[in-house]
């Protein structure tokens, strides 16, 4: 590149310095004469084009062979506009010498010598990664919308299935009371199986509905010890599993007891499932400033890092009869309380889930829509969490 093209009068930028800047620039720089012949390129430009410097030097920019014929007219037109001083930045897609698709954002600088047009410096910024990220974002948005739509349908179908299920349940119950049938052991077994499966179906529907509805919180005052005591009374713990309940009566907390119970039941059930050959589950509570922390530490099979990255997504399960909705529901409930849940695990050693919730959930801006209902006895207000400032 010759000195005359870039050295402005009286400027102290030496050719040496300019050359260095040209070479190390993070954008691809392509210097062309007014006819469009490439005079010089920097390293980054060579990298973008995926060939060697020799592939580019001396060639007309339309002949480097990386721009598709459909794109060429647009670029040639842009080049003409630039010469007339009306060039605007341009996005170009190329397939480079290595066969890679690259997206470039090109801007231009017109070079003059003694007031006369000498050439054009094209600045090509490689925006391939950005484009990829944009595409991924769009795809995940579309996926999210699709899932949301499926969720709505699932909720509707689930809701509609409740009635026939109740009908089947009633019919099974009716048959069970028939003296003639009561005598037949096999029939009774079948009827009990029907009832059990109805219960299982109902549980799936409840979980689906739980996942798709807004969270409504009914705040009541309680203590860590009371709430875990209640949770444990809802569960059947196998004999080979020892539960050590170290929760305390301090601090007093405000929360939706039914929902927190559901969240804790899910965590304890998971711990039980993780210890098929027995083990120990230790439940602890600790008050810290404005929060209370519950830990559920099991001595079960544990999880790999990869598994841990997936457990919060709906429908992730490693169990034959699992739905993979337990932890997503749990997370939703805890987050509705303005708390958070974390996990630590070691394969073969065990898993600890830690739930941190504020002593009293304070409404904050943003996030998912959560309805908080504070009964008269606690406060005289009913607020919608996401709208209160």
Ligand X SMILES: Nc1ncnc2c1ncn2[C@@H]1O[C@H](COP(=O)(O)OP(=O)(O)O)[C@@H](O)[C@H]1O
- Residues at the interface with Mg ion (CB under 5 A): 270, 326
Contact 313, 297 (CB under 8 A): no
Distance (Å, rounded) from C-alpha 65 to C-alpha 49?
10
327 binds ligand X (CB under 6 A): yes
CB atoms within 10 A of CB 377: 9
Residue 367 three-state SS: coil
Smallest separation, CB 207 to ligand X (Å): 9
**Residues 364-383 as x/- pattern, contact with ligand X by CB under 6 A:** --------------------
Rounded least distance, CB 196 to Mg ion, Å? 18
* Residue 324 contact, options ligand X, Mg ion, none, Cβ 5-8 Å cut-off depending on partner type: ligand X
Q: Report, in Å, the least distance between residue 215 CB and ligand X.
A: 17
Position 271 contacts ligand X (CB under 6 A) = yes
By the rule CB under 6 A, 362 interacts with ligand X? no
Q: Which residues contact 71 (CB under 8 A, 6 or more apart)?
A: 92, 93, 94
The residues in 240-269 that bind ligand X, with binding defined as CB under 6 A, are: 266
Q: How many CA atoms are closer than 13 Å to the CA of 3, on its beta-carbon side?
A: 8
Point out which span in 6-14, 237-245, 302-310, 370-378 binds ligand X (CB under 6 A): 302-310
Strand partners of residue 121:
31, 109
Partners of residue 344 on adjacent β-strands: 352
Residue closest to ligand X, measured at CB: 326
- One of 319, 362, 369, 388 touching ligand X (CB under 6 A): 319
333 binds ligand X (CB under 6 A): no
Of the two residues 248 and 273, which places its CB atom closer to ligand X in the complex? Answer: 273
Q: Which is nearer to ligand X, 118 or 297 (CB)?
A: 297
User: Percent helix, strand, coil in the chain (nearest 5)?
Assistant: 40, 25, 30
For residue 270, the minimal CB distance to Mg ion (Å) is 4
Which range, of 66-74, 188-196, 322-330, 378-386, touches ligand X by CB under 6 A?
Answer: 322-330
Residue 324 binds to ligand X (criterion: CB under 6 A): yes
* Contact in structure between 292 and 224 (CB atoms under 8 Å): yes
Contact 352, 320 (CB under 8 A): no
Smallest gap from residue 160 Cβ to ligand X (A): 23
As a residue count, the chain comes to 389
Q: Does 331 bind ligand X (CB under 6 A)?
A: no
**Closest approach of ligand X to the CB of residue 245, in Å:** 17
Contacts of 110 (CB under 8 A, 6+ apart): 82, 83, 85, 87, 117, 120, 121
Smallest gap from Cβ 276 to ligand X, in A, equals 11
Using CA atoms, how far apart are residues 147 and 151, in angstroms rounded to an integer? 6
> Peptide bond before 87: cis, by omega within 30 degrees of 0?
no
The first and second tokens of residue 309, run together, are 């990255």
The pair of structure tokens assigned to 190 is 């079948």
**Contact call for residues 351 and 302 (beta carbons, < 8 A):** yes
Count residues near ligand X (CB under 6 A). 22
State in angstroms the smallest separation of the CB of 303 from ligand X: 5
* DSSP secondary structure of 257-283: HHHHHHHHHHHHHHHHHT-TT-EEEEE
Q: Is 323 in the site for ligand X (CB under 6 A)?
A: yes
Provide, rounded to whole angstroms, the least separation between the CB of residue 275 and ligand X. Answer: 8
Residue 103 interaction partner, one of Mg ion, ligand X, none, beta carbon < 5-8 Å per kind: none
**Tokens in use for 172?**
């099974």
Nearer to ligand X, 229 or 276 (CB): 276
Q: Binding ligand X by CB under 6 A: which of 270, 295, 299, 356?
A: 270
Contact residues for ligand X (CB under 6 A)? 266, 270-271, 274, 298, 300-303, 307, 311, 316-319, 322-327, 351
């Amino acid at each position: 590149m010759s000195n005359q093209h870039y050295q402005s009068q009286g400027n102290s930028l030496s050719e040496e310095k300019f050359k260095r800047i040209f070479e190390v620039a993070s954008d691809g720089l392509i210097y062309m004469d007014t006819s469009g012949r490439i005079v010089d390129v920097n390293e980054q430009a060579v990298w973008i084009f995926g060939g060697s410097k020799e592939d580019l030097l001396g060639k007309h920019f339309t002949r480097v062979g990386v721009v598709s014929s459909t794109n060429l007219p647009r670029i040639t037109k842009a080049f003409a506009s630039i010469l007339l001083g009306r060039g605007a930045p341009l996005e170009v897609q190329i397939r480079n010498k290595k066969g890679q698709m690259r997206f470039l954002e090109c801007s231009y600088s017109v070079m003059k010598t003694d007031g006369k047009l000498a050439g054009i410096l094209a600045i090509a910024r490689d925006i391939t990664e950005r484009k990829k990220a944009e595409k991924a974002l769009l795809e995940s948005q579309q996926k999210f919308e699709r899932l949301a739509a499926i969720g709505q349908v699932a909720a509707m179908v689930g809701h509609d299935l409740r009635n026939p299920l109740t009908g089947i349940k009633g019919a099974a119950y009716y048959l069970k009371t028939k003296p003639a049938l009561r005598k037949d052991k096999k029939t009774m077994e079948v009827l009990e199986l029907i009832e059990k499966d109805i219960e299982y179906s109902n549980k799936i529907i409840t979980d689906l509905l739980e996942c798709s509805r807004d969270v409504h919180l009914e705040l009541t005052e309680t203590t860590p010890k009371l709430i875990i005591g209640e949770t444990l009374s809802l569960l059947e713990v196998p004999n080979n599993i020892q539960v050590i309940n170290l929760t305390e009566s301090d601090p007093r907390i405000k929360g939706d007891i039914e929902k927190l119970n559901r969240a804790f039941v899910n965590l304890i059930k998971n711990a039980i499932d993780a210890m098929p050959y027995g083990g120990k589950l230790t439940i602890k509570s600790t008050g810290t400033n404005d929060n209370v922390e519950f830990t559920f530490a099991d001595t079960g099979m544990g999880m790999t890092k990869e598994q841990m990255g997936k457990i919060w997504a709906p429908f992730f399960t490693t169990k034959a009869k699992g739905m993979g909705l337990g932890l997503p529901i749990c997370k939703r409930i805890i987050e509705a309380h303005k708390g958070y849940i974390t996990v630590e695990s070691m394969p073969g050693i065990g898993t600890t889930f830690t739930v941190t919730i504020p002593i009293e959930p304070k409404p904050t801006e943003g996030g998912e829509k959560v309805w908080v209902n504070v009964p008269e006895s606690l406060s005289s207000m009913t607020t919608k969490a996401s709208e209160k400032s």
